[in-house]
Amino acid sequence: MTFSDLLLQQTINGLSLGAMYALLALGFTLVYGILELINFAHFNVFMVGSFIGMWTLQLMGINGQAVVMTGLPLIGVMLVALFVTMLLSGGLGVVIERLSLRPLRNVKGPAAMITTIGVSYILFNIILLTVGADSKNYPNPLPPIQWALGDAVLRLREVLIWVISVLLMLGLHVFVQRSKMGKAMRATAQDPEAARMMGVEVDRVIIIAFFLGSALAGAGGLIFGLYYNFTSFIIGFTAGLRAFTAAVLGGIGNVPGAMLGGVIIGLVESMGGQFIATEWTDVIIFSILVLVLVFRPSGLMGRVAPNKS
Amino acid sequence: MINRPITRRAAVGIAAGVAATAGLGIRPLWAEDKSVTVGLDFSLTGADAESAKRMENGAIMAFDEANAKGGVNGYKVVVTPYDDGTATAGQYDPAQAATNARKMVSNKATVAAIGPQMSGAGKAMAPILSEGNLAIITPSSTNPDITNPKFAAQYKPEGKAIYFRTVATDAYQGPYMANYYADVLHVKTVYLLDDSGAYGVGLADAFQGQAEKKGIKIVGRDRLDPKAADYTTVLTKIKSLNPDAIYYGGVLQAGVKLAKQSYDIVPKMIKGGGDGVYGPEMLTGVAYPANQGWYATVASPHVTEEAKMTQWVKAYKAKFNVDPDDYAVTAFDAATVILAAIKATSEGGKEPTRAAVRDAIQAVKVNTLQGPVSFDANGDLQDKTISVFQIRQDKDITPEDMRNYHYIGAAPSA
Amino acid sequence: MAAMTDLFTRVPLARRQQILTLLVAVAAIAFPLIHDNDADVDSAANAAAYATLALGLNIVVGFAGLLDLGYAAFFAIGAYAYGILTSFQVMPHWGPFWQPFAWLELVQRVPNPGGDLVHFTVSFWIMLPVSALIAAGFGVLFGAPTLRLRGDYLAIVTLGFGEIVPIVVRNVDSVTNGAAGLNGVQAPRLLGHSFGIAAWPYYYVAIALVALLMFVSVRLRDSRIGRAWMAIREDETAAAAMGVDRTRTKLLAFAIGAAFAGATGTFYVAKLQTATPEMFGFPVSVMILVMVVFGGMGSVWGVVLGAVFLQLLQSWFLEDISGWIHDLGNLIHQPWMLRIDLTESIELIFGLILVFMMLYRRDGLIPATRKQSALSFEQQHAEVRRGGFTALAGLGEFAREGHTGLEVKGVTVRYGGLVALNAVDLTVPAGGVVAVIGPNGSGKSTLFNVITGLTENDGGVIRFDGKDLLGLPPHQILREGVARTFQNIRLFTNLSVLDNVLIGQHARLKTGPIAAVFRPPGTRREEVAARVWATEILGLFGNRLLPRATQTVGHLSYANRRRVEIARALASRPKILLLDEPTAGMNPAETMELAEQIKSLHALGLTILLIEHKLDVVTRLADKVVVLDHGEKIAEGTPDEVRKNEAVLEAYLGRGTLAKGTVDA
């Protein structure tokens, strides 16, 4: 394997990771932009999403990697799985917001953040206690198609991840920039009081933000399962932390920033693993987080956070 | 039978609970005229709960069988289970293990114990058990430090071995597999991986030492984060270095992901690990075809497929409704050893004391499921057989069946 | 029994607390004597260790309001510091360098064929404070770059450090023995005897540690330092404006919290005689947080109770309770009850505790603040005081000694493209009263913010008494004698009136953390004097505030909160007082009352800069009026001159009906 092929392969790996981190980072960014709340429950909404996706695929009769589909049936199955997963994950986000966060809307201090940690623990343990601690073999109907680029290999599932992620992110971007609700969201992020006075239903905006963020996390969970052919109750923590770092790096509250941050963190992980050592990956990523926060707290693309202190 | 240590707590217990207990809970020890107690300590809370339960089952099964036959020389065995996992730690908690060791020591009826699952817990327990002269037999903790004479002052301050194993330490499993790689598989270059855990790092270290002696070139080594999902990066690196084989020291939390992704990236490479990759998750979680060809070792002679085992496996499954793994076997064997020691010390109406049982365990020679067991002066197994397995999906059996691990033979000892 | 309860409630509160403390202490000391069970004593010692951790985290989360999700990192640092310095893990070659340490019995020379080696044998009793210091050092190291950040960012960064520390411990095998864990850590020795493995000596060390750290916590809480932490927790900006150095105060909380964890780590590893990196992961940090939340953030007794309860629950009761449920299920033939296993679902239970405590009982089991009894009718009856103060020591001297006052020259502030202030000039002579008026959004509050250092400027000069204020942080500006109130009242809502006023004095008091704990006579005198001064200030408002001195500010009426804010600013002994719409929201009678009081302060010699909409108040008080519009000064002069100025009329009236309401003279 030549060095350039190696670099190419690690770039492909990094971009795939980055696409997943970006999807997850978007949820952090949406909620943080509006509520200034780090939502730790998001970590495990992602995890639950990957299980929802698994069950949906299994209900459609797909088990393990034995069933391989092509053409229209494949597209149909993928769309149904994606739709169901996003809908249910989004619903989960809405339930979390309604039951545990709305009552704390006007409470100062770390109360809301502590609550999200509690919710995260609850989701984690419900899955652990119901489906068990063992890793699950993820149903995957994708045909094993791959293309050789020199010694590097590009597989269908990588292309699929990129396409789905980019489409979802574009969709979100258009929604936030163009739609009426998107404008209301941006207005609320700028100044909730003023937005409320201008007739924006802030509670609704927050619900929508939770729904979209959680739905994207669910999609991320499904993609995760399809990419790695496995899922387990434990996948939320590391992925969530890295995605949060991505959101901060890109500029928290900034939708394109989250995508950029995700891709950068993905590439850092793959290149760091190649040229430094995997055992230091977490240290490298957290160092980036700290450095960004110290020297450029608004992130690479971020707006300056409105001073609401 | 299982007795939970309740009475002690009446003084500090919750009033309602105490009232309830008084009516229902207490099965007093003194009701049986002759009994001895054996403590069990596994990590029933947190990350390792599943395999903990399997081991606990194995031990309980042996004692239940003995009690059903009327006990050992008239002595019934009372089992007191302890949990060294806590939610605080999210897994095994050495502080809780130390507390449990004290609980065992301070219960005068306890003559021996089985456990712990993890070496980290064993390190905290050993000094306390040594002080109490209470022998413990571990079915699964393989880190060699505790029985290493170099650390005798810490782990057996009273001088006598009290930490026995019905499982070989990493000090043999890793090196024997290195021999197997060099002599049988003719591996010239290898890439080492571990999963950051005490077991995995120790195993990979031990493998590395012997592999270098055998002339295998270590082309690189990396540490996997078991909580991370993506190992494609490191596998791509391995692909570019193109070694003959991978050796993985670690358990299945990282192992499942490693097996899946290595099948995608380096499908033809020789891949193997220790007893950490010998488990049902390798069959159900990794599944066909990604698990094909993986080598695993078990630190005991292979017996489960043999005729007498078939019956045992059936009985275990009927009783607990789960499949046994090899550590269920080593736990059962630990119980067998303890039963033999109780028998030896209670012959002729003598009372089996804690000290006598320890000495009897040290001197034991008993036939167990894994074969004849006896201990050296450090508490390690005399017979250090390492069995090698390879996963090959058999057409006649279900994918979950542990018989898909095909026994290859014992690994060379030198 | 009822009679006993009755008797007990009649004992004064402070006395009752003393009696309870004594009872708890006696019970804790007697426990191993009356309950002769090594294992239970051992669990109790572990629980006590977690209580010390909870006490440390309480300083960070409860007192200072900083969410730290990586607290276990400091626990790990303390543990490994002791572990490495008392085991055979690190053994450098012997050389003459080590000889002095050998005499001090910190190291031993170990014979070795390949050259003698050094074995560290530092005493447990030395390491206890040293580990605390090492951990505090790391606290400063981790905190310094991150404490400037908003609280929620801090949470994620601490989480990161909490992850990194165990990774580093695992990866530097040569120092820590990596994942396999430390071997051969020595037990503490006392008077030549090793603690060995018996549980009771550890138990007594642990409860002594708990008692000590509770004492330290309480002393810190009730001091200048504790008040500053709580001020930051309640409102960082207001705290800075009242003279609290944010970064230093937060760092101090972080370092002291870390120190508690470091000492506990040393105790813990000495007791276990081994340590593995897995012992200090994220679940541990979260569990300590659960303990603090459960017991009551900010409540010293609460967090100790929370920690002890949750720890003993796991170690003593959980298996028993499950067993009882199973027995009950057997008895009443309910097979589902047999499947309940609390040990498995304990983490779920802790998650539920976090959520339910936050939703329904944020104060925890033992709330940090207790309810106040209602005021009597007489106390509620206002006894108005309309100025006429004769002397308030130190308030007027500045003007009488002929200093120059406040000079603002060409100050410009831009927010993005918007110019909030454009080259504004303003002078307030010492002893003068200047009023700033202007329509909403004309830049008045921005002017205050830039003078007090809360907003950065884009050019200009601000001098007070000849000293340049620009670029100074807010707390230093207050030190220079510039105190302010806020338009939208920024009090420390959950603190008492008295505490608010005491925080106003922060910059004028000296007590540091060490003096706060030991309370030498000087500190006592200072604290008494501070309370006398606070009472004097509160007395300015007749009996509006004095009877409510111990009440929480959040429960006061709007007008009273305005008064507290002025009192808080006055408490800092300012040379110039900046009042931002002090009479906003007051009825005419209250407005006149306050105007008289301000006038009286002026008569004492206090220099005042005032933002005010009510023109009658302005006319009554001000020597000079400055009018701002769209960030520009459009007029300046006596109240009468300004009233006739056309530009002013244009600014107020020329904008049609929207602006009308603002000139309600």
Query: Is residue B147 a contact partner of residue B378, using CB atoms and an 8 Å limit?
Result: yes
Contact assignment for B91 to C319 by CB distance below 8 Å: no
DSSP string, B263-279: HHHSTTSEEEESGGG-S
C664 falls in which pLDDT band (50, 70, 90)? very low
Are B154 and B38 members of one domain? yes
* Structure confidence at residue B284 as a pLDDT band (50, 70, 90): confident
B145 Cβ under 8 Å from any chain C Cβ: yes
Tell me the pLDDT tens digit for each residue of A224-237: 999 998 898 889 98
Domain shared by B232 and B131, yes or no: no
Q: What is the CATH number of the domain that holds B338?
A: 3.40.50.2300
Confidence of residue B252 (pLDDT cuts 50, 70, 90): confident
Interface check for A235 against chain B (CB to CB < 8 A): the answer is: yes
For C593-608, what is the mean pLDDT?
Answer: 86
Task: Tell me, yes or no, whether B353 lies in a domain.
Answer: yes
Residue B128: C-alpha distances to residues A143, B154, C196, C270 (Å): 58, 10, 9, 14
Please report, for chain A, the start and end positions of each structural domain, with discontinuous segments joined by +: 13-234
Mutate which: A233, A290, A292, A296, vs C, most C CBs within 10 A: A290
pLDDT in tens, C173-209: 888 888 888 887 888 888 878 887 788 899 999 999 9
Cβ neighbours for C592, distance < 8 A, ≥ 6 positions apart: none
Contact between A89 and A221 under an 8 Å Cβ cutoff? The reply is: yes
E strands, chain A, are 136-137, 146-149, 152-155, 230-231
Stretch among A250-259, C3-12, C614-623 having the lowest mean pLDDT: C3-12
B188 and B137 in a common domain: no
The residue behind tokens 């006894």 is: C383
Is pLDDT above 80 for C653? no
Residues C15 and C155 in one domain: no
pLDDT of residue C373: 61
**Beta carbons within 8 Å of C371's beta carbon, 6+ residues apart:** none
Number of domains in chain C: 4
Q: Is B149 exposed, middle or buried (0-12, 13-18, 19+ CB in 10 A)?
A: exposed
Do B230 and B119 lie in one domain? The reply is no
Q: Is the confidence at residue C393, as pLDDT, over 80? A: no
Same-domain pairing of B283 and B352: no
pLDDT in tens, C265-300: 999 999 988 888 888 988 899 889 989 999 988 899
For residues B346 and B254, state if they share a domain. no
Cα A168 from chain centre: 11
Give the whole-angstrom CA distance, residue A108 versus residue C202: 40
Picking from A278, A279, A282 by the largest number of B CB atoms within 10 A of its own CB, the best residue to mutate is A278
The whole-number pLDDT of residue C278 equals 85
User: Does the residue C105 lie in any domain?
Assistant: no
Residue B213 and residue B270 in one domain:
yes
Phi, psi of C70 (to 5 degrees): -125, 35
β-sheet with B189-194: strand ranges across: B217-223, B189-194, B245-249, B270-273, B295-298, B387-391, B405-410
Q: Contacts for A15-18 with beta carbons within 8 Å, 24 or more apart?
A: A15/A158, A15/A162, A15/A263, A15/A266, A15/A267, A16/A158, A16/A161, A16/A162, A16/A227, A16/A266, A16/B232, A17/A265, A17/A266, A17/A269, A17/A270, A17/B230, A18/A246, A18/A262, A18/A263, A18/A264, A18/A265, A18/A266, A18/A267
Q: How far apart are CA C464 and CA C206, in angstroms?
A: 54
Task: Tell whether B380 is covered by a domain.
Answer: no
Contacts of C289 in chain A (CB under 8 A): 114, 117
Residue C655: CATH number of its domain: 3.40.50.300
Q: What is the pLDDT of residue C1?
A: 54
Biggest CA pair distance of chain C: 101
CA-based max dimension of chain A: 62
Which chain A residues touch B256 with a CB distance below 8 Å? Answer: 135, 230, 232
Statement: residue C375 has pLDDT above 70: no
ipTM value, please give it.
0.89
At A306, the pLDDT band (50, 70, 90 cuts) reads very low
Contact assessment for residue C573 and residue C606, using Cβ atoms and an 8 Å cutoff: no
C250 pLDDT tier (thresholds 50, 70, 90): very high
HSE-CB for A149 with a 13 A CA cutoff: 14
pLDDT tens sequence across A203-226: 899 999 999 999 999 999 999 999
In a domain, B149, yes or no: yes
In a domain, B16, yes or no: no
Looking at the structure, do residues C135 and C246 belong to the same domain, yes or no? yes
Q: Is-contact C274 B120, C-beta < 8 A?
A: yes
Q: Report yes or no: A115 at the C interface, CB cutoff 8 Å.
A: yes
For C163-193, the DSSP string reads: HHHHHHHHH-HHHH-GGG----PPPPEETTE
Average pLDDT, chain B: 84
Helix (H) or strand (E) run with residue C320 in it: helix C318-331
Whether chain A has a CB inside 8 Å of the CB on C150: the answer is yes
Instruction: Record the pTM.
Output: 0.89
End-to-end CA distance of chain B: 44
Q: Tokens for C86?
A: 């008392």
Q: Are residues B224 and B264 in the same domain?
A: yes
Among B293-307, C293-307, C536-550, C576-590, which stretch is predicted with the lowest mean pLDDT?
A: B293-307
In angstroms, the CA C353 to CA C363 distance is 13
- For residues C325-338, average pLDDT: 78
Q: Are strands B85-86 and B295-298 parallel, antiparallel or unpaired?
A: unpaired
Q: At what angle do helices B119-132 and B94-106 cross, to 10 degrees?
A: 30
φ/ψ of B192, rounded to 5, equals: -100, 140
Reference C441, options C583, C629, C613, C653; nearest CA is C629
Phi and psi for A144 in degrees, rounded to 5? -80, 60
B27/C327 Cα distance (integer angstroms): 11
Give the N- to C-terminal CA distance of chain A in Å, as an integer: 54
* Mean pLDDT rounded to a whole number for chain C: 85
Residues of chain C in contact with residue A103, where contact means CB-CB under 8 angstroms, are 359
Residues forming beta bridges with residue C633, ordered by sequence position: C628
Return the SS3 of A289: helix
- Residue B40 shares a structural domain with residue B155: yes
Task: Measure the CA–CA gap between A275 and A277, rounded to whole angstroms.
Answer: 6
* Residue C256 scores a pLDDT above 70: yes
Q: Average of pLDDT values for C216-228?
A: 93
State yes or no: pLDDT of B391 exceeds 80: yes
Whether the per-residue pLDDT at C657 is higher than 50: the answer is no
Beta strand pairing call for B91-92 and B85-86: antiparallel
8 Å CB contact of C358 and A114: yes
Is residue B83 within 8 A of residue B43, CB to CB? The reply is yes
- Residue contacts between B and C (CB atoms, under 8 Å): 154
For residue C373, being part of any structural domain is answered with no
Q: Give the SS3 label for residue C109.
A: strand
B35-53: b (≥16 Cβ within 10 Å) or e: bbbbbbbbbbbbbbbbbbb
CA angle B272, B277, B280 (to 5 degrees): 135
Q: Domain ends where: C527, C551, C572?
A: C572
Q: Does A21 touch chain C (CB under 8 A)?
A: no
Exposed (0-12), middle (13-18) or buried (19+): which is B295, by Cβ within 10 Å? buried
Domain count, chain B: 2
| C59 domain-assigned | yes
pLDDT at C120 over 70: yes
In a domain, B378, yes or no: no
Give contacts of B239 with chain A, Cβ < 8 Å: 1, 9
- Chain C residue at shortest CA distance from B195: C179
**Best to test chain A binding among C69, C282, C354, C486 (most A CBs inside 10 Å):** C354
Q: State the average pLDDT for chain A.
A: 88
> Which residues form the domain of B42?
32-168+307-373
Q: Where are the alpha helices (DSSP H) in B48-91?
A: 49-68
A241 touches chain B (CB under 8 A): no
- Judged against a pLDDT cut of 60, whether residue C659 lies above it is answered with no
Nearest residue in chain C measured CA to CA from B225: C167
Please give, rounded to a whole number of angstroms, the shortest distance from the CA of C614 to a CA of chain A.
Answer: 26
Is residue C227 situated within a structural domain? yes
Q: What is the C-alpha separation between C195 and C340, in angstroms, rounded?
A: 40
Range of the structural domain that residue C20 is part of: 1-32
Strand partners, B273: B248
Cα Rg of chain C, angstroms: 30
Q: Are residues B253 and B401 in the same domain?
A: yes
Q: Does B212 reside within a domain?
A: yes
Contact A133 B290 (CB under 8 A): no
Per-residue model confidence (pLDDT) at position C74: 95
* In-domain check, residue B240: yes
Percent of chain C clearing pLDDT 90 (strictly above)? 31
Cβ A282 vs Cβ B225: under 8 Å: yes
Residues C265 and C228 in one domain: yes
Tell whether C150 and C234 lie within a shared domain: yes
In Å, how far are C367, C400, C568, C580, C607 from C600, measured between CA atoms? 41, 16, 17, 18, 12
- Rounded to the nearest 10°, the torsion over CA C651, C656, C662, C665 is 90
- Residue B19 binned pLDDT confidence (cut-offs 50, 70, 90): very low
Instruction: Report yes or no on C298 lying in a domain.
Output: yes
Q: Does a structural domain hold residue B12?
A: no
How far is Cα A124 from Cα A48, in angstroms, rounded to an integer? 8
Question: Is the bond preceding C639 in cis, omega lying within 30 degrees of 0?
Answer: no
pLDDT tens digits along A76-96: 999 999 999 999 999 999 999
Residues of chain C with Cβ-Cβ distance to A128 below 8 Å are 347
C614 and C622 Cβ atoms separated by less than 8 Å: no
> Which residues are CB-contacts of C604 (< 8 A; sequence separation ≥ 6)?
C389, C391, C392, C395, C396
Write out the H or E segment, with its range, that includes residue A239. helix A236-250
Tell whether B108 and B160 lie within a shared domain.
Answer: yes
Binning chain C into helix, strand and coil, the percentages to the nearest 5 are 60, 10, 30
Residue C128 falls within a domain, yes or no? yes
Is C171's Cβ below 8 Å from some Cβ in B? yes
C-alpha span between A179 and A154 (Å, rounded): 36
* d(C-alpha A106, C-alpha A119), whole Å: 19
Alpha helices, DSSP H only, in B242-371? Answer: 252-265, 280-281, 307-320, 326-346, 354-363
| Close Cβ partners of C93 (under 8 Å, ≥ 6 residues apart) | C115, C116, C117, C118
C379 part of a folded domain: no
Judge whether B14 is closer than 8 Å to chain C, CB to CB. yes
Q: Which residues contact A115 (CB under 8 A, 6 or more apart)?
A: A100, A101, A104, C354, C355, C358, C359
Q: Which of C514, C548, C572 is the last residue of a domain?
A: C572
Contact yes or no for B70/C329 (Cβ under 8 A) = no
- Please tell me the predicted confidence (pLDDT) of residue B28: 43
